[in-house]
Chain A
Amino acid sequence: MTALRSDRKRPPAKPETARPSRRRLTGLGLPIYVALALVFLLIPIAYTFVFSFNDSVKSNIAWRGFTFEKWLTVCNEPGLCEAFGNSILVGVVATVLATALGTAIAIALVRYRFRFRSSISLLLFLPMATPEVVLGAGLAAQFLALGTQKGIVTVILAHTMFCISFVVVTVKARVASLDPALEEAGRDLYGSAAQVFWRITFPLLLPGILAAALLSFALSFDDFIITNFNSGAVDTFPKFIYIAAARGIPAEANVIASAVFILAILIVVVAQVSRSARQKKLAKLN
């Protein structure tokens, strides 16, 4: 999610010089194209949202009239809320594990020099360059060889694995931007190593750690391919949809997806607004 963090130094934007009117006319093409492209990106979201209000009987394909009912009786659809609950459980546990393990690695990678550094970086980079189907099949082959029963534990183990790399990348950028002088100041003032970490380092890293945790949760929540290989009989929300796809998706699944979507967008918007408010305050101070 680094792309969203625009607090990076950018070259001073020079005011654009006045252009002849012929240029201004062709200049309209790009904004129109971008607007159309963004609408295109949103079509399936709108579709999913609209069809969460469909008064469907079994499969949710033809429009049969508007109803709020599916939003109020989501859990009447057998298996759906269990699957959703599993997704939340897996997401939370995997996020906590991956964030803890990944943050520790990120701090070590930036702050310490040690042998095998490049092999360790490669080990952390490779999972992001490996297709999910290979990650999923590999873990499944390993669980098969060990005779491990597949279930929610194996799903959590798998999700934690692929989230760690993303946590490392996200937190590493934050550690690198941290001014070591702040920690030195803490030590100069006779702070113990633990005090310096919890009172200075950790609060300064917290935005990066939170961003990493949100990213992990989002990745885990929407993962299907790796889950499908390692879940055995346990259903997650995406797996529920995959199985239901053969016979028709119930409108209740659209309800859950739409609710999650609204919540996620709210989180992003709140984060953006609070950041721009903070930047304005900083600009005033300067």
Chain B
Amino acid sequence: MAFAAFASSDAAVTKPPRRKSTIALVLLLPGILYMVLFFLTPLISLVITSFQAELPGGDIGDYVPGLQWQNYVESASEYLPHILRAFGYALVATVFALIISYPIAYFIGVKARRWPLLQSMMLTLVIAPFFISFLLRTLAWKQILSDESPVVQALKAVAILPADGHLTGTPFAVIFGLTYNFIPFMTLPLYTTLERLDTRFLEAGSDLYANPATTFLKITVPLSMPGIISGTLLTFIPAAGDYINASRDFLGSSKTAMLGNAIEANFLTLQNYPVAAALSIILMAVILVLVGVYVRRSGTEDLL
């Protein structure tokens, strides 16, 4: 639900007057201290953990501080498929979510403007999946896409799926689940920008004899760019780190395991903390670089 963060442009920062800074300090200190203690130092301890070495002769899960650069090389090479799957699946799911969500957001934000009640009702339906457990809605899809389900039977009957084919446990199911679960994250920021779109620009386009497709590509899309960027980030980031959809008990199999699954398994099951930490840092670093490049290239640096 981070869309609020991305969607609301920072109107707040219009140089407030300098006033008694002791009050500001009292207001800021507890919260900032909290974030330092429970966000910043955990990231630092993640970095420290990622360099730890095995304790010679120690038990499973015993590590000593070290400077094991090899942890990164080893975990990156061992889990390269997981890394590639994480970013590949997330990218495909983001593109699908954008294609599916844009018309929804356009309809609610532009076409339904004259009926505010319809607008808010449709928005409620878009965010309705938030109100039912993330895990349960993913499990519902698992049942709907399972081998015994009418969906799969029908696909087999019309020979879209081979007779021994499956949907669950395949990359298709994982990407499907990721797409489904993040559609609201994509639709809401798109809606917020499209809702503010001045339709007179579109009329100007058609007055100048642009066909609807040109008007859409040259006017609507550029004007909704902030929403597109927020939506794609809000989908891509959590999708790349997700390990529910790709998990064996949900829509995936061992062949679809993503980076998140590798981090979870190494941390919680194998107690291989340095590898889990190194993989986490890799995930975070790649995302920060990608987001940085993406935001810079799309020319809205003031977003952050």
Which of these, A175, A219, A254, A269, contacts B124 with CB under 8 Å?
A: A269
Q: Is B225 an interface residue (CB 8 A)?
A: no
- A133 engages B243 (CB within 8 Å): yes
Known contacts A3-B7, A123-B32, A228-B268, A11 near B196 by CB under 8 Å: yes
Residue-wise interface mask of B (104-132) relative to A, using a CB-CB cutoff of 8 A (1 in contact, 0 not): 10111001011011011011111111111
Which of these, B11, B30, B130, B288, contacts A101 with CB under 8 Å?
A: B30
Q: Is A125 an interface residue (CB 8 A)?
A: yes
A134 to B46, CA, bound (A): 9
Chain B interface mostly? helix
Which residues of chain B (1-38) have a CB below 8 Å from chain A?
1-5, 7-8, 11-13, 15-19, 21, 23-25, 27-28, 30-32, 34-36, 38
Query: Hey, which chain A residues are within 8 Å of B156, CB to CB?
Result: none
How close is A152's CB to chain B, nearest CB, in angstroms? 16
Known contacts A102-B31, A237-B133, A128 near B198 by CB under 8 Å: no
Q: Is B45 an interface residue (CB 8 A)?
A: yes
- B23 engages A112 (CB within 8 Å): yes
Q: Is B72 an interface residue (CB 8 A)?
A: no
Chain A's interface size range is 35 or more
Name the CB-closest residue of B to A253.
B136
Residue-wise interface mask of A (13-37) relative to B, using a CB-CB cutoff of 8 A (1 in contact, 0 not): 1101100000000000011011001
How close is A174's CB to chain B, nearest CB, in angstroms? 10
Query: Hey, which chain B residues are within 8 Å of A3, CB to CB?
Result: 3-4, 7, 123, 188-189, 191-192
Question: B116, B139, B277: which has the most chain A beta carbons within 10 Å?
Answer: B139
Q: Is A190 an interface residue (CB 8 A)?
A: no
- B134 engages A38 (CB within 8 Å): no
- B133 engages A222 (CB within 8 Å): yes
Residue-wise interface mask of A (155-191) relative to B, using a CB-CB cutoff of 8 A (1 in contact, 0 not): 0011011001110111011011000000000000000
A22 to B143, CA, bound (A): 42
Name the CB-closest residue of B to A174.
B12
Query: Hey, which chain B residues are within 8 Å of A140, CB to CB?
Result: 267
- B263 engages A129 (CB within 8 Å): no
Known contacts A241-B133, A272-B120, A2 near B38 by CB under 8 Å: no
A47 to B150, CA, bound (A): 14
Question: B12, B36, B184, B198: which has the most chain A beta carbons within 10 Å?
Answer: B12
Residue-wise interface mask of A (220-237) relative to B, using a CB-CB cutoff of 8 A (1 in contact, 0 not): 001011001100000001
Q: Is B238 an interface residue (CB 8 A)?
A: yes
How close is B268's CB to chain A, nearest CB, in angstroms? 7
Name the CB-closest residue of A to B141.
A44
Q: Is B92 an interface residue (CB 8 A)?
A: no
Q: Is A75 an interface residue (CB 8 A)?
A: no
- B139 engages A245 (CB within 8 Å): yes
Name the CB-closest residue of A to B234.
A128
* A/B interface sample: 28 pairs, CB < 8 A: A3-B189, A10-B196, A31-B107, A31-B111, A37-B100, A44-B136, A47-B144, A104-B31, A120-B28, A123-B35, A125-B5, A133-B242, A133-B263, A133-B283, A138-B39, A139-B42, A141-B45, A141-B277, A144-B273, A166-B4, A218-B131, A241-B133, A241-B136, A253-B136, A254-B136, A258-B132, A260-B132, A264-B131
